[in-house]
Amino acid sequence: MFKLWPFNGGVHLPTHRQESSTAPLSIAPLPQKLIYPLARRNGRNAKSLVVPGERVLKGQVIIPADGTMNPPVHAASSGWVSGIEQRLLPHPSGFSGSCVVIDGDGMDEAVAFQGVSNYAAMESDDLRGKIHAAGIVGLGGAGFPTAIKINPPRQFNVEILVLNGAECEPYISCDDSLLRHYAHEVLGGALIFMHILRVARCLLAVEEDMPEAIAALELAKAEAGYGHIEIVAIPAIYPTGGEKQLIKVLTGREVPADGIPAQVGVVCHNVATAAAVHKAITAGEPLISRIVTVTGQGVRKPQNLLTRIGTPISELVEQCGGYTDSAQRLIMGGPMMGFALASDDVPISKSTNCILVAGQAEVVGEKTPMPCIRCGACATVCPVNLLPQQLYWYSRASNLERVMDYRLPDCIECGCCDVVCPSHIPLVQYFRAAKSKMAEKEKERLKADHARMRYEARVARKAQEQLEKAESARRKKELLATALSTSKS
């Protein structure tokens, strides 16, 4: 038996996985429209490489890379660029931004992909470069560039690769589906990661209530002999699939606050990222598609779809038989951490794992909070071991010093405290508000520092000028004095 470690808290939630996982994985038809936001991770807009009216091919780079933090974006199918328009972004902010819009031509004509036959003979840096050029980011949800994650600082001795196949949020089954259908690709991707990172050990974590996925992995393992990859069934407790929680469960190690997993010898990737890397290295195909779960009482035929990135949600919902009458809320992601979208005219992004069209009975409306009775249920379930109740008092009072003291920045906004609170207090909202207040204050502090520095520099400069003036006046006087004395004599 593999030794597992507990993390504090977590909640058992009904998985609702069957709704989408019992239907076979289907391949979404070629999208009529493809939308690619130009917004970068840092909020600035990239420059499009294509112009309206231009024809693009599948796999062609349409948004260039900008450093390692921003890998390139490729067209997921062939078509004509119809324009660069302001559109609603797939982002919790609900903001609009410039997007490249492509009208699909249904040909799916691709640029030539060039795979590598023997990656084991290649240097890690070259492989990282290929992964970056393939536009690969973490497919688990955060979308962090993969090439950076597999390039940990040299001072850390990485010994374990963790592949995250734990679908911790209810309703989502895209990783389950991936593991059942693409176990070889996932394990192959794991080998590439291991080669790049030069680690000998890989733990692939799957939730224990995903027996088909585990069976598929074991079968693939037996067929191809990936002996050094251990498949570990972990308890299905939300949020075991969180990176820090998963590392704790598998290794008993805790990633330091403000630190990265490499500091405790671990690098963690989502299983779908591994499959994407496998595809990018062996077939040369960039990241242009992923599996997306479309589920909830609000769609007629919940299922997993192999989807081109950039496809509007509306086309996917159509593919799933359209909305039911009970469709109430459109959520990108799961019901715990996903964000509600105002419209379905939003594209699937690289990190979109699920589209949950929730019915009336599946989501909570506007809550009417009661006073906190200090029951501590929130602290019992907090996976980070915070005291949400105290944080709530201090957040309400805008006592940012105490909020900091009680370690609000460590809150991962998983929502556990929120759903167990008997007083129905929207705790996560309070925490988000307090966090943004803290960010605001930090910004003000920087601004004040800047202003103070400028002021001090000005005062110093003035003083210097004064000094120089006095000096030159003195010198003039001296000169004059000598001139006078010489003229006298």
Q: Which is nearer to another protein, 161 or 386 (CB)?
A: 386
- CA–CA separation, 286 vs 294, rounded Å? 23
- Asked if 81 and 52 touch (Cβ cutoff 8 Å), the reply is yes
Q: Rounded to an integer, what distance in angstroms lies between the CA atom of residue 211 and that of residue 327?
A: 31
Please state, in angstroms and rounded to a whole number, the distance separating the CA atoms of residues 183 and 200.
Answer: 20
375 binds another protein (CB under 8 A): yes
- The CB-of-9 to another protein minimum distance in angstroms stands at 10
Please list every residue from 294 through 323 that binds another protein, using CB under 8 A. 314, 323
Q: Supply the minimum distance, in Å, between the C-beta of residue 230 and another protein.
A: 24
Does the footprint of another protein cover residue 404 (CB under 8 A)? no
Q: Which is nearer to another protein, 265 or 426 (CB)?
A: 426
In a 3-state reduction of DSSP, which class is residue 265? coil
Length of the chain: 489
Rounded CA separation 185/178 (Å):
9
Binding piece for another protein, criterion CB under 8 A, among 55-63, 267-275, 405-413, 480-488: 405-413
Helix, strand or coil, per DSSP, at residue 117: coil
Q: Single out the segment in contact with another protein by CB under 8 A; choices: 116-124, 273-281, 425-433, 468-476.
A: 425-433
* CA pair distance 75, 36, nearest whole angstrom: 8
**Two tokens, residue 155:** 């001072």
Decide whether 277 or 377 has the Cβ nearer to another protein. 377
Question: What distance in Å separates the CA atoms of residue 208 and residue 220, rounded to the nearest whole number?
Answer: 18
Scanning 22-30, 217-225, 280-288, 339-347 for contacts with another protein by CB under 8 A, the matching segment is: 339-347
Q: How far is the CB of 167 from another protein (least distance, A)?
A: 15
The reply to whether 192 sits near another protein by the rule CB under 8 A is no
**Does residue number 256 form part of the binding site for another protein (CB under 8 A)?**
yes
When asked if residue 130 is in the footprint of another protein (CB under 8 A), the reply is: no
CB of 172 to another protein, least distance (A): 13
Give the count of beta carbons closer than 10 Å to the beta carbon of residue 243.
Answer: 23
Question: Coil, helix or strand for 234?
Answer: strand
Round to whole Å and give the CA distance between 481 and 466: 22
| Cα gap 380→393, rounded to integer Å | 17
Q: What is each CA distance from 265 to 194, 226, 313, 337, in whole angstroms? A: 13, 21, 39, 28
49-108: contacts with another protein (CB under 8 A): 94
> Among residues 301 and 402, whose Cβ is nearest to another protein?
402
Query: 133 to 162, contacts with another protein by CB under 8 A?
Result: none
**Among positions 18, 68, 86, 385, the unique one binding another protein when judged by CB under 8 A:** 385
Residue whose C-alpha is closest to residue 228's, from 193, 260, 203: 203
Instruction: Provide, rounded to whole angstroms, the least separation between the CB of residue 251 and another protein.
Output: 14
The DSSP secondary-structure symbol of 151 reads: S
| Nearest CA-CA partner of 386 in 249, 246, 248, 257 | 257
Q: How far is the CB of 22 from another protein (least distance, A)?
A: 22
**By the rule CB under 8 A, 392 interacts with another protein:** no
- Amino acid (1-letter code) at residue 333: G
Residue 367 or 469: which CB sits closer to another protein?
Answer: 367
Q: Could you say whether residue 373 binds another protein (CB under 8 A)? A: yes
Based on the shown chain and the rule CB under 8 A, indicate whether residue 257 belongs to the binding site for another protein: yes
Nearest to 302 by CA among 23, 13, 16, 15: 23
Looking at 201, 432, 435, 437, which residue binds another protein (CB under 8 A)? 432
User: Which residue in the block uniquely carries the two structure tokens 């000096």?
Assistant: 471
Q: Are 161 and 128 in contact (CB under 8 A)?
A: no
Site string for another protein, 232-251 (x = CB under 8 A): ------------x---x---
Q: Are 21 and 176 in contact (CB under 8 A)?
A: yes
Least CB distance to another protein at residue 187 (A): 30
Residue number, 196 or 264, with CB nearest to another protein: 264
| Of the residues 116, 306, 363, 404, which one makes contact with another protein according to CB under 8 A | 363
- The stretch near another protein (CB under 8 A) out of 53-61, 198-206, 214-222, 424-432 is 424-432
DSSP, collapsed to helix, strand or coil, labels residue 19 as helix
Q: How far is the CB of 406 from another protein (least distance, A)?
A: 8
434 counts as binding another protein under rule CB under 8 A: no
Task: Report the residue from 76, 336, 354, 403 that binds another protein according to the rule CB under 8 A.
Answer: 336
Task: Please select the residue that binds another protein; options are 344, 350, 353, 391, rule is CB under 8 A.
Answer: 344
